[in-house]
Amino acid sequence: MKIIVAKDYEELSKKAADIIAQEIKTKSNPILGLATGSTPIGTYKELVNLHREEDLDFSKVETFNLDEYYGLDSTHEQSYSYFMKKNLFNNVNINMNNTHIPNGLTEDIEKECKDYDALIEKKGGIDLQLLGIGVNGHIGFNEPGEELSTGTHLVDLETNTIKANSRFFDSIEEVPKKAITMGLASIMKSKRILLLANGENKKEIISKIIDGKVSTNVPASILQVHSNVTIIIDKEIAEYL
Ligand code: GLP
């Protein structure tokens, strides 16, 4: 694992955007795996700046998002579909047909998940997967447990995850209890993984995934066995390690 320390969130976001921009510039059809949550918002902002100021071209970029809340319409302000449009897709020259997010309103979960995995495979897998991390070590919405799922699947969110994500909703009751998430296989098959973490509340989990044992109780610890992982952290976390 390669660890990069940024002095603050702004620098972390710039470094992450530069790595993604490099991928976009050097591949003819870059396939990006994208994440939501508050952590990558600054990175998306920087990518929009690079598009506006340096003509970073998204026309050949194809994207697969990690996850989506189950039961939320894509127009719901807290859906990840809405998040991606607001923070990135509406602000760059990406072809929306090349953006993929699990359909949270699907009536056939099994088919939705199978089709999502098949499409990623068909495109040749993900070149660069961007990840945030939950305080319990989840990536995407792969929650800790005795077993981890390999493919895209429907997941019951942990009470702590619901609590953590309730800050974006008017009340905790409004947070969906389930989500559709890419499994660990699609993430681990990505050619390169870029994980971002900043702030006090992520220091313990980052220390666990870097130095701890690989365990299904800390889903992100599996990244230790991937050959091309870069983790960008801020000084606050680095001082704790
Ligand atoms: C959600 C997302 C994850 C994200 C996590 C952390 O649960 N499904 O992909 O990494 O939140 O979010 P934040 O970056 O806001 O701490």
In the predicted model, what is the mean pLDDT of residues 7-22?
98
Report phi then psi at 187, rounded to 5.
-65, -50
**Of 188, 113, 187, whose CA–CA distance to 154 is shortest?**
113
SS3 103: coil
Closest atom of ligand 1 to CA, residue 202: 16
Q: Contact, 31 vs 124, CB < 8 A?
A: yes
Ligand 1 atom nearest to CA at 140: 9
Contact predicate 133/171, CB 8 Å: no
Cβ–ligand 1 distance for 159 under 6 Å, the answer no
Q: Span 181-195, mean pLDDT?
A: 96
Q: What is the pLDDT of residue 186?
A: 86
Write down the pTM of the prediction.
0.96
Q: Confirm whether 103 is a catalytic residue.
A: no
Ligand 1 contact, 37 CB (< 6 A): yes
140 CA to middle of ligand 1, Å? 7
The single residue of 62, 67, 68, 234 carrying the catalytic annotation is: 67
Give residues with Cβ within 8 angstroms of 102, minimum separation 6. Answer: 65, 67, 68, 112, 113, 116, 152, 180, 181, 182
Whether 67 is catalytic is: yes
In this prediction the ipTM stands at 0.96
Give the pLDDT mean for 11-39: 97
Mutate to test the pocket of ligand 1, among 138, 154, 159 (most ligand atoms within 8 A of CB): 138
Averaged pLDDT of the chain: 96
Distance CA 12, CA 15 (A): 5
Find out whether the beta carbon of 196 lies less than 6 Å from any atom of ligand 1: no
Token pair recorded at residue 88: 């990135």
pLDDT reported for residue 183: 95
Q: Residue 126 has what pLDDT?
A: 97
Mean pLDDT in residue range 47-57: 98
Helices (H), 27-139: 41-54, 80-87, 109-122
Of all protein residues, the one whose alpha carbon is nearest to atom 11 of ligand 1 is 37
The whole-number pLDDT of residue 6 equals 98
CATH 3.40.190.10 assigned to domain 2-240? The reply is: no
Write out pLDDT tens, residues 194-226.
999 999 999 999 999 999 999 999 999 999 999
- Verify whether residue 136 is a known catalytic residue: yes
Sorting pLDDT into bands at 50, 70 and 90, what band is 142? very high
Structure tokens belonging to residue 55: 């003509």
- The CA–CA distances, whole Å, from 230 to 9, 56, 107, 133 equal 16, 22, 37, 13
Confidence check: pLDDT of 15 > 90: yes
The answer to whether 137 and 112 have CB atoms below 8 angstroms apart is no
* pLDDT one-digit tens code per residue, 81-131: 999 999 999 999 999 999 999 999 999 999 999 999 999 999 999 999 999
Asked whether 142 lines ligand 1 (CB < 6 A), one says no
36 close to ligand 1 (CB < 6 Angstrom): yes
CB of 137 shorter than 6 A to ligand 1: no
